[in-house]
Amino acid sequence: MNELLTQSLAQIVTGHHRSAAVFEKYHLDFCCKGKRSLEKACLDQHIPAENVLAELGQLLNEETTRSTGFPFDKLTLIQLSEYITDTHHSYVKKELPALFAYAQKVASKHGERHPELFGIFEKVADLKEELDSHLEKEEQILFPRIVEIERLALHQKSSSHLNSSYLQAPIGVMEQEHDHAGTLLAEIRQLTNNYTLPADACTTYKLLYASLQAFEADLHQHIHLENNLLFPKSAELLSQLNTAVAG
């Protein structure tokens, strides 16, 4: 199991989908900071690496020859972008308005006793504004370009506008926005004291914290699929396409 220490968090999650739950438990960011080795991530978080390895070992021992996770790395770029849109984008579009409403209601009712709720509401509002724009840019600009590149590659064709900036420019913007969204969620987690409910929490209060925790887990997987699979594989395909056409 010690060989996992030198692998990146992204590599581990890509190869063993269920390992994401272990990383979530220890707050190890496998999406925005997924390029770090497991060893470095544990050092950064002051977590004993042997504890994480033990849980990963138990998880891997439970795996059978039958796939325990979706084979994302086997999908085409078109299939992967469609999966992200249909699964994660749809989730964000459904959940964020509800989160905003919960955060606003709980802050208005309990903010005097728990002033951190005002900060949580502000972060949720910022997150909603950020992701509403972010998803639109991915669906209207970046994902269509990725689809175009894969279709051209299938026919070994290229075009004069397919230079590196055609893909890297929007990818750079998306990765920056991923980092910002990840920071907002980390700040929310801190404000909620790792989603620890106070004794006087009402039903909506409990629903807010549970929904925030589920949203964080989904967004981590969402960003992982883009930062560590879709984006690098798209850039690699564009490079191969341009090389083949030039040759």
Domain count, the chain: 2
* Domain co-membership, 87 together with 200: yes
Question: Residue 215 belongs to what domain range?
Answer: 74-246
* Domain co-membership, 235 together with 137: yes
The predicted structure's pLDDT at residue 230: 97
Residue 93 lies in a domain: yes
Q: How many residues belong to the chain?
A: 247
Name residue 153's amino acid.
A
* Domain co-membership, 113 together with 204: yes
* Domain co-membership, 135 together with 54: no
Helix ranges, 84-141 (H): 90-110, 116-137
The predicted structure's pLDDT at residue 101: 93
In tens digits, the chain (247 residues) has pLDDT values of: 678 999 999 888 877 767 888 898 898 988 778 889 999 999 999 999 999 999 998 877 765 433 445 788 889 999 999 999 999 999 999 999 999 999 999 999 999 999 999 999 999 999 999 999 999 999 999 999 999 999 988 877 766 667 878 999 999 999 999 999 999 999 999 999 999 999 999 988 998 999 999 899 999 999 999 999 999 999 999 888 877 665 5
* Domain co-membership, 57 together with 144: no
Token pair, residue 137, equals: 């840019």
Token pair, residue 214, equals: 């589920």
Residue 68 lies in a domain: no
Can you give the CATH number for the domain in which 40 is found? Answer: 1.10.3910
Residue 67 lies in a domain: no
Token pair, residue 36, equals: 């770090």
> Which of 39, 62, 85 delimits the end of a domain?
62
Q: What is the pTM of this model?
A: 0.78
Contact 146/229 with Cβ under 8 angstroms? no
The predicted structure's pLDDT at residue 106: 94
For the CA atoms of 195, 199, 205, 208, the dihedral, rounded to the nearest 10 degrees, stands at: 10
* Domain co-membership, 165 together with 198: yes
The predicted structure's pLDDT at residue 31: 79
* Helices (runs of H) and strands (runs of E) counted in the chain: 11, 0
